[in-house]
Amino acid sequence: MDEEMVALVFDEVKDKMRKSVQHTKEEFAAIRTGRASPALVEKLLVDYHGTDVPLQQMAGFSVPEAQQLVITPYDKTAIPSVERAIQKASLGLNPANDGINIRLIFPPLTEERRRELAKLARNVAEQGKVSARNARRAARSELEQLKKDGELSEDELQRAEKQLDNLTHSTEEDIQSALAAKEQELLEV
């Protein structure tokens, strides 16, 4: 029974750590590089008839060129709202519409802006690592509670904690490798 309880704790912590890596990678996708990417704007909330709706639910995206993103709202009356949302997001992009599509032209990034974005990526990675450590802390306290309740022996607790530390280290390495890839992408001219 004690192994079952430990397994449940590990299933939960593995899920939380996997989600922290996944969330960190999603945050990286929203950090702009010199190339057009729908990930930059698809999560933007657009005021659509008084309701905030994610842009990905109300428009299609295409990238006809590396420096251009075309957004095609399903409802043409939403074009002004989409433009306002993009402008409010402070992305450094000016939307241009032709009545059917909204075009975003991505200017080349300056060296200074690349470094700022790389710093932002490092902050996002650190938040992901903190999230993983918080999951570890919660799991460790659950394991210690099992020991207090007499469900785990000291040896079993130490084994589980070592396994937990290895899992945390592995999660942090995943985040670090994703950060390295994002930094390389950002600093590449």
pLDDT of residue 171: 95
Max mean pLDDT among 95-104, 105-114, 180-189 falls in 95-104
The overall pTM is greater than 0.75: no
Query: Which of 159-169 are b and which e, b meaning 16 or more Cβ less than 10 Å from the residue's Cβ?
Result: ebeeebeebbe
pLDDT of residue 34: 67
pLDDT of residue 130: 95
pLDDT of residue 153: 87
What percentage of the chain carries pLDDT values higher than 70?
A: 97
* Structural domains of the chain in order of their starting residue, each with its CATH number: 2-29+110-187 (1.10.132.20), 38-105 (3.30.1360.40)
